[in-house]
Amino acid sequence: MATIEDFKKLQFIIAQIKEVEPHPNADKLYVIKVDTGTEVRQIVAGIRGSYSPEQLVGRRAVLVANLDPAVIRGVESQGMLLAASDASGISVLGPDRDVLLGSTVK
């Protein structure tokens, strides 16, 4: 079990998806550029089977902003989008209205 202190270590913010490209070395991954309100970051996300790039660009989503960067199949990822999954596929999580980029998710 994680403690509330463990949970508080993670920083969840609202970011907007600006660019989406297929990952050059993986069929299920996208390389995504997101705007956090203060910077543009690159993330790698395994959502290619559930969304086209056109469905993602412009969308606001929840980003785990303070993860250590990771190299995924040769491409650096500087965060993680939150998504839910079930038998129907993957659903990227986001706000139900346009909140400011960089807003804290609690």
> Which residue, chain included where needed, has tokens 């490209």?
21
Q: Which domains does the chain have, with CATH numbers?
A: 16-92 (2.40.50.140)
pLDDT in tens, 77-86: 999 999 999 9
CA distance linking residue 65 with residue 67, whole number of Å: 6
pTM, rounded to two decimals: 0.94
pLDDT in tens, 28-67: 999 999 999 999 999 999 999 999 999 999 999 999 999 9
Helix (H) and strand (E) counts in the chain? 2, 9
